[in-house]
Structure 1
Amino acid sequence: MTKDNLHTIKYLVTAIAVTLFFSCSNDFDDVQKVGILQNQPISEAEHIDLNYTEYKDSTVRLLANLLSPKMLDYSNRSFAFQEFPDGIELKIYDENNNKTTITSDDAIVYSETDIIDLRGNVIIVTPERDTMFTEQLYYNQKLEWAFTNESWLFKRAIGPLYGVGFDSDKEFNNFQMLEVGGDFELDN
């Protein structure tokens, strides 16, 4: 082989190597997904005990406490969510430290929409010991609005209220029912 042919081969090999190098893309998102099945969570956590607090006027106040045996994080999906497949217990505290407790068999928190989907044996117990029962309840965190199309029972000191479907603010002050039964009073 002559010296000119040797240089030509070196230039050709170099050109091919450079072409191959620049033709490969390195998309970090794709690299992160290697080894992760799309239907699998990106992480799991057990024995969840989260406290949500507020720091105001040099004091810390507990707003809520979330308890759950297990959390699955699906933030690797295009529509990210966290699931609590073994249920939750959520304690919410008002300004006077009165506690409302919410439990369910399963819960899904959708990150993009701030919607919480509570499923299976959903029970809400207010500080006054009034108790609501339903099989599914949605809660919009941004609007602080709860709603369902399922049947529900609201046990109160003045008598039970039951029906199918409702919309309400978080304090149940602005309450709209689709179908209703039981004894109730309407405020002006």
Structure 2
Amino acid sequence: MKGSSADATHPDGPPGAGKGTQAKVIATHFHIPAISTGDIFRANVAGKTPLGVEAQRYMDAGEYVPDQVTNAMVRDRLNLQDAEGGFLLDGYPRTLAQVQELDSMLDDLDSSLDAVVVLTAELDELVQRLLQRAHVEGRADDTEEVIRRRQQVYAEQTEPLIAVYRERGLLVEVDGMGEIDAVTHRIFDSLEQPA
């Protein structure tokens, strides 16, 4: 983080890499809100906002919520006062179209990303981690086959985004395996290295 008035970091990584956990730690360290698309969805649905009602309609039908609804929710969230001094995005963008929309949002806010953190992990270790979590949390539908498919979809959808941010010089790749504190230290060390 470079200390600009609107730091924005986007952690990403495959399912099970610990990005949600690390997002909270990083946000606390830099005194900025961690903005998770999952949390935004839940807040809009629970609050019965117009966007939440629209999103619920798609979810009830078993369909994906369109980018336009997701983008609008993120835009609304970034315009809240607590995000004025910077923010950390968790789970957004997920598509190249969302990258373009985020670029537009940041232009409107006269802001820019400082870094895009990607947690890397070995596939088999991730699968075992997620199988263990599924067992502990009683997620019977989280089979090895389903988990491996999610990893494959993540890789297919995310690789183009990683390439975009690598080309822009914003990508910070960090080994996401190991103890939470060790991963956190690796993230902070990587963010504090001069560009």
User: What TM-score, normalized to structure 2?
Assistant: 0.23
Decide which structure has greater strand share.
1
| Structure exhibiting the larger radius of gyration computed from Cα positions | 1
Q: Which has the higher contact order (CA 8 A, sep 6+)?
A: 2
User: What TM-score, normalized to structure 1?
Assistant: 0.24
Decide which structure has greater helix share.
2
